[in-house]
Structure 1
Amino acid sequence: MAKVAEIVVDALLEAGAKRCWGIVGDTINHFTDAVRKSDLCWVHVRHEEAGGLAAGGEAYFTGELVVCAGTCGPGTLHFVNGMFESHRNGAPVVLIASDVARAETGLGFPQELDQRKIYEQYSVFCEYISHPDQARRITVQAAQAALTKGGVAVVIVNGDMFEEDSKDDLPWSVHRPKSHLRPVDAELDALAEKLNAAGTVTLYAGIGARDAKPQLVALAQKLAAPIAHTSRSKEFIEPDNPYNIGMIGILGNKAGVEAIDAADVMLCLGTDFAYTQFYPGQEKIVQIDRDPTHIGRRAPVGMGLVGDVGATIDALLDRLKQKNDKSHLEAARKQWKKDLDGYADEAEESDPSLIHPQFVTHTLDRLAAPDAIFTADGGSPMVWLLRHLTANGQRNFLTSLLHGTMANAYPQAMGAAAAYPDRQVISMSGDGGMTMLMGDLLTLKQEKLPVKILIYNNGSLGFVEMEQRVEGLLDSYTGLENPDFAKLAEVCGLKGWRVENADDLEGAMAEWLAADGPAVLDVRVNRVELVMPPKVEAGQVASTALFGMKAVLDGRAREVISLLRDNFLR
């Protein structure tokens, strides 16, 4: 006989889990005691949301199972945002969500809530352990779903259930089978006919092409096609790829957008990128995805096929004719070079007292380790990562591109640092994101996680401020009164640096990166910084001009002059 808590922990260990992130208490006390007696490492955080983000970061980078555990009511609810972010990233996480004792269920007992209603909307598995003899079976099903489907699985356990005994006499275990999925021959023939007849083709690759870069390059060579990519695909599409032309979308660049517009066929591979306005007309789009429910989900498509990107291209290549006209490809490459030059120009500093975030990020790109792991907060830091960091095939990147949350960066970096203690792990944090979950700076110290936190300190919710201005509104309620983050870090037992002049940045950043253990670099950056999309529409210009007029009338002429000087006259 074994206790349910012991069985759950053992099943998670057998599934490959190494760490459990959470805060101890009441309904999980017997579970955490079982963790204490096992090889599963408990990581104590100060806020469950940070724990959920950290677990998701670890699981995303490793591809292996990571565990969270929360007490009933508030404990589990605090995990919600971290779990939703992790699920949307496809990170294999199991959440042990505890509930009140069974004798109190349905009676309005303090801290009772219906966990299933909360988590079944965004999980790959969500189920109660309703009987002690289900403990291993349910836990194994949850772990297998998280690992094979990619996402968060939730096991709900009443607190008193953990104490129950079970025979545990059936050897339930996790299976991780591999398979290749590709369209049938008739569909591949039809696709080949369409591509052979097309004068110009642009490939558009997403996260579903992660393991298919050699096939993508071979396809691009055969079709003389440029490869645009989604933001999440940066780290594996860009390196050593002569066909890469960058991203499309509001965070993208001109080369990608123009290559899509100029193509007779846009071949979407492993992506259903969210923003419909960046797609061409229906008949131009061919979409290949292993999930049939994703076909045509974001934009109407002329042809949709179900398959893994690599396996589908392998089956397609011999059906294609070699295209020798490279004018479409060369035009895209030429524009991509201009885009890169433009990013470099943005990073040049003319006034040392006005530090541009692009300059900070270019300096980071130059000084950071070749195999560094980077996370970035949703908002402006996400843009600086995507546009100004070099993907070299060794570096890894994670930011909140699907869930769009604040405060994701340094908690996700905690998970990466726990998994890869010998690699440089850098969090690119906004001042808004940092202050939202600031308490877990203490976790970095207590758990000895050597995360390097770069804070883009502009005294505002900068991305929101930009959104308001582009819509012609006066920016409202976005200002932040921040502490000296370097001094705050030191109070928490971390090392800290503060930079207010561009001439001091490189020296301070080099010391910060070389520091033992966790450290904070607080950089005062320009507040009035627009994130320019690859195509500026007339309406956006008009709205920004409208903001300018309103700001002048509101007595903020100096700010308008700064906006023009720093973003349009540089």
Structure 2
Amino acid sequence: MTPVTHRNGGELLAAHLASLGIDTVFGIVSVHNLPLVEAIDADPALRFVPVRHEATAVNAADAYGRARGGIGCALTSTGTGAGNAAGSLVEALSSGTAVLHITGQVETAHLGSGRGFIHETKDQLGMLTAVSKYAVTVTSTQDAGRILREASVAALTAPGGPASVEWPIDLQYAAQHDTGSPVAAVEPPTPDAAELDAARELLASARRPLIWAGGGANSARTELLALVEATGAGLLTSNSGRGCVPEDHDLVIGNFATTPAGRALLKDADVLVTIGTHFRSNETADYGLELPAAHIQIDIDAAALGRVYPARHALHGAADATLPRLTTTARRADAAWTARVREVRDEVRATLHDNIGPQAAICDALAAALPRGAVVARDVTIPSSSWGNRLLPMHDPRANVFPRGGGIGQGLGMGIGAALARPDRPTVVIAGDGGLAVHFGELLTLAQERPRLTLLVFNDGGYGVLRNMQDKYGERRSGVDLFTPDFAQLAAACGLAYARIADETDAKAVITAAVASDGPTLVEVDLSALGPMKNPFTPPVKIPTA
């Protein structure tokens, strides 16, 4: 590349974002990032979204990248601003999603001096290192371009994660001299040849195979579908793997491994192939789920191989390159086994549909109203955990946006990011009143940016999941019953359209109209009026009862 001189760091950053295909940046302006924000805002090819909290800047950038299958960018200030972003960086790190996080820093002359310079904090880089895949400080105007490229490559290299760059404010204002030197991409690992041959032989012997796809399978959708159809195997998924094969495919069982029917299938399977899943505790009944001993595990992360469950054949490699090697020698499963897979697929869905009671009407209305591949961003709340993460169909992994690390309050920010990433189609956010209250300020972002977003707020007056746990295992409620605003008045104050679902019969018309709208709508689901599920939902965590 030809060396280029930019007037300041903001112009350099804008040029770098264009090279990544990013057209929207999320952040909060500050005295310690002003040149960056001003350059992005002035660039006609870029949109700066002024969110109301730094945590949302990262959540929105995270979901923007997920929805586009790439990378997002967040801008924060130094000190407290960077600290506010830390929790959302943890989410991106847990999810392995690519975020370029640019944060300010005090002037170079005062960096690390401990004088109490405005916005200064002790060892900000150490904090960022703890919650990022890659973290670095810009130390000169000659290095900033290279650092931005290195950070982006690190974030995008599987297993991905957030890359944080702290940029002293004096260096942001200065002219940038970028040599344009390219950063080499990291070549993916290749499985050991002998191990791969043994895995191929094992899979070829299988008569009752199952496949379990996690988020690592999302980059190998075509290859995974070929293996499923070549074998007639049933496809289980983690929550992160949903949509890697469209869930209306008749061999996709989905995120139902811990159900009685799912456990029975796993018990009777003679070979299990797992792809890019980390077997999280909430998806394995706190690791109590039993898997077949004949286990072929594929993962690009060497540390994941055999970490939770033993693998007879551990294949360290990229899914898109490894799966075809298995498919070429795979044999068709017994017809009776494939028929049983289809029966289990129908059974687990019918059972869950019945168990969620009146909320089934909402799930059905969403499935009918949303175009194929529309993003459903799900905060951590009972509707998400019970049916949004399982029953509501996913046809594209880019539509499957949720906080994989399990932290509440991130759903709306993620929804805003996803909606602005894919403005040609509607986005839905599923949130609870408790989680939404964590970042009520983002209702103002929603009102200002006006994306095609339907915000479904399931109002049960507090933290319903924890309330159910305390009712089931304890003798009193603590910290779970919260004051809830009048959502109609709140929506009106923010200039948002409002609707309410208080009965099953309301769901279809309300959701259809909201999804068809060209702008944002807040839909309150009044759970006290709607009525309870058949069985109160409690999360799959262990509570000592002795």
How has the CA–CA distance of structure 1 residues 101 and 394 changed in structure 2, closer, same or farther, with 3 Å as cutoff? closer
CA contact (8 A) 1:65 1:147 kept: yes
Question: How far apart are the structure 2 equivalents of 1:404 and 1:313?
Answer: 30
Unaligned runs of 5+ in 1: 349-355, 547-570
Match of 2:353 among 344, 359, 368: 344
Find the counterpart in structure 2 of residue 312 from structure 1: 322
Letter in 2 for 1:415: G
Question: How far apart are the structure 2 equivalents of 1:240 and 1:335?
Answer: 14
How much does 1:302 deviate? 2.6
Find the counterpart in structure 2 of residue 60 from structure 1: 66
Alignment of 1:37-52 (within 5 A): 37-38=42-43, 39-52=45-58
Find the counterpart in structure 2 of residue 286 from structure 1: 296
Alignment of 1:34-433 (within 5 A): 34-38=39-43, 39-105=45-111, 106-109=113-116, 110-113=118-121, 114-149=123-158, 150-168=160-178, 170-173=179-182, 182-248=190-256, 252-275=258-281, 277-280=287-290, 283-320=293-330, 322-323=331-332, 325-346=334-355, 356-383=358-385, 384-392=387-395, 396-401=399-404, 403-433=405-435
Find the counterpart in structure 1 of residue 37 from structure 2: 32
Letter in 2 for 1:241: H
Alignment of 1:525-564 (within 5 A): 525-526=527-528, 529=533, 530=535
Question: How far apart are the structure 2 equivalents of 1:244 and 1:84?
Answer: 30
> Which structure's relative contact order is higher, taking Cα pairs within 8 Å and 6+ residues apart?
2
Question: How far apart are the structure 2 equivalents of 1:60 and 1:51?
Answer: 14
How much does 1:271 deviate? 1.4
Q: Percent identity?
A: 27
**TM-score, normalised by the number of residues in structure 2:** 0.88
How much does 1:174 deviate? 5.8
CA contact (8 A) 2:255 2:389 kept: no
- Secondary structure of 1:36's counterpart equals helix
How has the CA–CA distance of structure 1 residues 381 and 144 changed in structure 2, closer, same or farther, with 3 Å as cutoff? same
CA contact (8 A) 2:237 2:255 kept: yes
CA contact (8 A) 1:189 1:319 kept: no
Q: Which moved more, 1:285-294 or 1:273-282?
A: 273-282
More helix as a share of residues: 1
Find the counterpart in structure 1 of residue 18 from structure 2: 13
How has the CA–CA distance of structure 1 residues 28 and 428 changed in structure 2, closer, same or farther, with 3 Å as cutoff? same
How much does 1:189 deviate? 2.1
CA contact (8 A) 2:425 2:452 kept: no
1:231-277 deviation per Cα after TM superposition (whole angstroms, max 9, x unaligned): 1222223434232222245xx53333221122232221221212352
Question: How far apart are the structure 2 equivalents of 1:284 and 1:518?
Answer: 49
Letter in 1 for 2:490: L
CA RMSD of superposed structures (Å): 2.8
How much does 1:423 deviate? 0.5
Question: How far apart are the structure 1 equivalents of 2:244 and 2:193?
Answer: 29
**TM-score, normalised by the number of residues in structure 1:** 0.85
Q: Which moved more, 1:462-471 or 1:71-80?
A: 462-471
What count of residue pairs does the alignment treat as equivalent?
A: 528
Q: Which moved more, 1:40-49 or 1:238-247?
A: 238-247
1:489-529 deviation per Cα after TM superposition (whole angstroms, max 9, x unaligned): 11101111123333333333333233331110111115754
Match of 1:506 among 485, 505, 508: 508
CA contact (8 A) 2:383 2:430 kept: yes
How has the CA–CA distance of structure 1 residues 187 and 445 changed in structure 2, closer, same or farther, with 3 Å as cutoff? same
How much does 1:10 deviate? 2.4
Question: How far apart are the structure 2 equivalents of 1:127 and 1:197?
Answer: 49
Find the counterpart in structure 2 of residue 568 from structure 1: none
User: Which has more radius of gyration?
Assistant: 1
How much does 1:417 deviate? 1.5
CA contact (8 A) 1:12 1:140 kept: no
CA contact (8 A) 1:248 1:278 kept: no
